[in-house]
């Protein structure tokens, strides 16, 4: 999320813009690299236009699945989870008083940020979501797949929510999918693919429509991220998973897996009328099987450069006419769309929306999704940073932006997943960096379902020790949050600064506070009183090309303020000099 220049000092706005331009692959990639640097993990990099955490040498599409067996699915992460459980004490003397933890939220960010310029352009937000399961038996029953907060359930269409997986080995989630032939069977993938997460520990599986979950550990799915899950329309135990490293298949509900293709696989689409036809979008292009995954062939796409890698690719059959298939991809600096009009036919190039090269294209590896209207094969929804709706008629395609408007409803940018209500084809759900949004009319209007969700991703947090209720924290793409009224408000946090919230600081003696974005910039404000969080720029005089971590560390001790990039910047007068 960019920070509008008119909302802050012109100098800071210009520096943030210049900093963003240095982030090849978008700000999201730099955020991942920051996370990996902190934890000494292997680095995710941008190689020849696509994001990867594996070697690009020798990648190829195999006609048949590799013959070699993968690692035996010994539960490495399950052992760690059991070790963690053993650390939880169960017996104490009667006079020992244990600390009691309670959630402080936020369960409500009342007015969030969008790219809309009018109308309802500040809806409630929560945090990044990567998928949603809508029960085909009860449209009020939703299970939300959040990127960093686990799975959440509502039985009243988002009026109230409850967490489902707080005790599972990880809260990083990448995808969720129900079995078409058995509505009570639902699969969820740990480890978020869109951030190339290394926190995957296997699948979570539910046999009661998502109300309770069991962990199905697997070495094949450990230490990686999951982009997509697809279930055979005729067999609820036949599961396909696309991950940051490979395409996998299980015929026993995830107990064991075989590697189908040893390449990054983003999306899988199974023909609902003929499960023998499967498409998969991979880093090497579109592949297709006509015999249920036994054999695979690469599919030619007009205009794509043969032998070159893709940055991202999504593929989907039209539910009302599965002979029609769409593919949306980025190769190099171009966004492309293809359509297949008949079963077994060739793909033709189609007109795309006006994709922004500096956001939609540059960050396609992170936010890219596609969905076809359940009732009309000529209506397509395409999520990138923005969300677009396209209608194909005899005269060609008409595209419009349905996420950022000058009037009407707007939603948060950075789209990760789209889903329709099986009971009502007009109802569309959009998962993005701001949470989950519902449209009852195919994207014409939107309602935020975020109140009640505790899934905001905090990067930093600081407490003013003299004020019990005073907390501020920087969050992923939902700004810096705090309580400007300094009064107890049950798990409600207001957005007190826009953009990506970075490190924070507090000076209790002088009642000042500090927040930052990505980059070296700092803003200061009174911590309490009528002018609380009225920010002024006190950034170090760093050059525009100054090198630093995505979130440079900052510390405050009374009037001493320090922030570090490749050098250490210090002020002993609260940032004035």
First to last CA, the chain: 30
- Which pLDDT score is estimated for 308? 87
Q: Write the pLDDT tens digit of every residue in 511-541.
A: 999 999 988 999 999 999 999 999 999 999 9
Domain residues for 502?
458-571
Q: Is the pLDDT of residue 233 over 90?
A: yes
Let me know the angle formed at the C-alpha of 80 by 74 and 82, rounded to the nearest 5 degrees: 95
- Domains held by the chain: number: 1
> Is the separation of the CB atoms in 363 and 28 below 8 Å?
yes
Whether residue 463 is contained in a domain is answered as: yes
Q: What is the rounded CA–CA span in Å between residue 285 and residue 277?
A: 17
- Adjacency order of strands within the sheet including 435-439: 415-421, 424-432, 435-439, 447-448
Q: Is the peptide bond before 106 cis (omega within 30 degrees of 0)?
A: yes
Mean pLDDT of the chain: 89
In SS3 terms, 452-468 reads as CCCCCCEEEEEECCCCC
Least confident among 78-92, 130-144, 235-249: 78-92
Whether residue 404 is contained in a domain is answered as: no
Whether residue 354 is contained in a domain is answered as: no
Whether residue 499 is contained in a domain is answered as: yes
Whether residue 514 is contained in a domain is answered as: yes
Whether residue 536 is contained in a domain is answered as: yes
Q: Write the pLDDT tens digit of every residue in 89-135.
A: 666 666 777 777 888 889 999 999 999 998 999 999 999 999 999 99
CA-to-CA dists, residue 73 to 10, 189, 215, 572, angstroms: 55, 16, 13, 56
- Closest CA relative to residue 154, chosen from 163, 141, 145, 165: 141
> Is the separation of the CB atoms in 120 and 463 below 8 Å?
no
Strand partners, 290: none
Positions of E strands within 218-277:
226-231, 239-243, 247-250, 258-261, 265-270
303: Cβ contacts below 8 Å, ≥ 6 apart: 336, 349
H-run or E-run covering 16: helix 10-21
Q: Write the pLDDT tens digit of every residue in 175-195.
A: 999 999 998 999 999 999 999
482: Cβ contacts below 8 Å, ≥ 6 apart: 470, 471, 472, 473, 493, 494, 496, 533
Q: Chain centroid to CA 444: how far?
A: 23
Q: Write the pLDDT tens digit of every residue in 344-391.
A: 999 999 999 999 998 999 999 999 999 999 999 999 999 999 999 999
Contacts by residues 556-560 (CB-CB < 8 Å, ≥ 24 positions apart): 556/505, 556/506, 556/507, 556/514, 557/507, 558/507, 558/508, 558/509, 558/510, 559/507, 559/510
Strand partners, 303: none
pLDDT-above-90 percentage for the chain: 75
Count Cα neighbours of 369 within 13 Å in the Cβ-side half-sphere. Answer: 25
- Which pLDDT score is estimated for 198? 80
In SS3 terms, 345-373 reads as CCEEEECCCCCCHHHHHCCCCCCCEEEEC
- Closest CA relative to residue 202, chosen from 228, 166, 251, 169: 169
Burial of 320 (0-12, 13-18, 19+ CB in 10 A): middle
Whether residue 352 is contained in a domain is answered as: no
Q: Write the pLDDT tens digit of every residue in 36-57.
A: 776 666 666 655 455 665 555 5
Q: What is the rounded CA–CA span in Å between residue 337 and residue 381?
A: 12
Q: What is the rounded CA–CA span in Å between residue 288 and residue 296?
A: 5
Under the banding of pLDDT at 50, 70 and 90, the label for residue 3 is very low
Return the residue matching tokens 């696989």: 265
Whether residue 312 is contained in a domain is answered as: no
Positions of E strands within 126-253:
129-134, 142-146, 150-154, 162-163, 173-179, 182-190, 203-206, 214-216, 226-231, 239-243, 247-250
The helix/strand count (H/E) of the chain reads as 3, 41
Burial of 76 (0-12, 13-18, 19+ CB in 10 A): middle
What's the CATH code of the domain at 470?
2.130.10.10
């Amino acid at each position: 999320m960019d920070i509008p220049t008119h909302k802050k000092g012109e100098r800071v706005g210009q520096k943030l813009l210049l900093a963003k331009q240095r982030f090849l692959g978008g700000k999201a990639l730099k955020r991942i690299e920051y996370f990996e640097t902190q934890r000494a993990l292997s680095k995710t990099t941008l190689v020849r236009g696509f994001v990867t955490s594996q070697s690009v040498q020798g990648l190829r599409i195999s006609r048949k699945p590799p013959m070699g067996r993968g690692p035996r699915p010994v539960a490495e992460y399950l052992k760690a989870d059991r070790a963690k459980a053993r650390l939880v004490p169960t017996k104490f003397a009667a006079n020992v008083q244990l600390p009691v933890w309670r959630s402080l939220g936020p369960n409500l960010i009342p007015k969030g940020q969008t790219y809309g310029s009018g109308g309802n352009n500040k809806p409630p937000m929560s945090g990044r979501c990567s998928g949603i399961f809508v029960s085909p038996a009860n449209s009020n029953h939703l299970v939300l797949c959040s990127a960093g907060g686990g799975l959440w359930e509502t039985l009243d269409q988002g009026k109230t929510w409850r967490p489902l997986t707080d005790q599972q080995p990880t809260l990083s989630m990448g995808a969720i999918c129900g079995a078409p032939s058995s509505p009570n069977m639902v699969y969820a993938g740990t480890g978020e693919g869109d951030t190339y997460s290394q926190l995957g520990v296997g699948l979570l599986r539910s046999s009661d429509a998502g109300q309770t979950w069991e962990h199905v550990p697997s070495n094949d799915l450990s230490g990686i991220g999951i982009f997509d899950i697809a279930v055979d329309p005729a067999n609820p135990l036949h599961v396909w998973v696309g991950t940051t490293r490979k395409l996998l298949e299980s015929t026993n509900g995830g107990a064991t897996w075989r590697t189908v293709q040893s390449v990054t696989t983003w999306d899988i689409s199974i023909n609902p009328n003929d499960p023998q036809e499967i498409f998969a979008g991979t880093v090497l292009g579109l592949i297709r099987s006509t015999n249920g995954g036994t054999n695979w062939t690469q599919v030619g796409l007009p205009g794509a450069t043969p032998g070159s890698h893709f940055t991202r690719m999504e593929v989907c059959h039209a539910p009302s006419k599965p002979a029609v298939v769409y593919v949306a991809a980025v190769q190099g600096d171009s966004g492309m769309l293809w359509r297949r009009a008949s079963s077994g036919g060739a793909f033709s190039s189609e007109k795309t929306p006006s994709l922004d090269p500096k956001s939609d294209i540059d960050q396609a590896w992170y936010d890219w999704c596609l969905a076809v209207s359940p009732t009309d094969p000529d209506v397509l929804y395409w999520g990138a940073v923005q969300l677009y709706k396209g209608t194909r008629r005899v005269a060609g395609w008409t595209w419009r932006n349905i996420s950022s408007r000058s009037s009407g409803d707007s939603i948060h940018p950075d789209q990760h997943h789209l889903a329709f209500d099986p009971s009502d084809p007009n109802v569309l759900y959009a998962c993005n960096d701001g949470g989950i949004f519902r449209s009852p009319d195919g994207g014409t209007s939107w309602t935020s379902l975020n109140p009640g969700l505790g899934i905001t991703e905090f990067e930093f947090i600081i407490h003013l020790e003299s004020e019990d209720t005073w907390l501020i924290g920087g969050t992923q793409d939902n700004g810096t949050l705090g309580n400007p009224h300094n009064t107890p408000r049950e798990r409600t946090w207001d957005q007190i600064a826009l953009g990506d919230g970075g490190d924070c600081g507090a000076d209790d003696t002088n009642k000042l506070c500090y927040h930052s974005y990505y980059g070296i910039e700092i803003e200061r404000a009174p911590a309490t009183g009528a002018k609380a969080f009225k920010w002024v720029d006190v950034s170090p005089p760093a050059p525009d090309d100054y090198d630093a971590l995505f979130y440079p560390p900052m510390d405050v001790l009374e009037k001493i303020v320090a922030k570090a990039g490749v050098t250490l910047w210090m002020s002993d007068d609260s940032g004035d000099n």
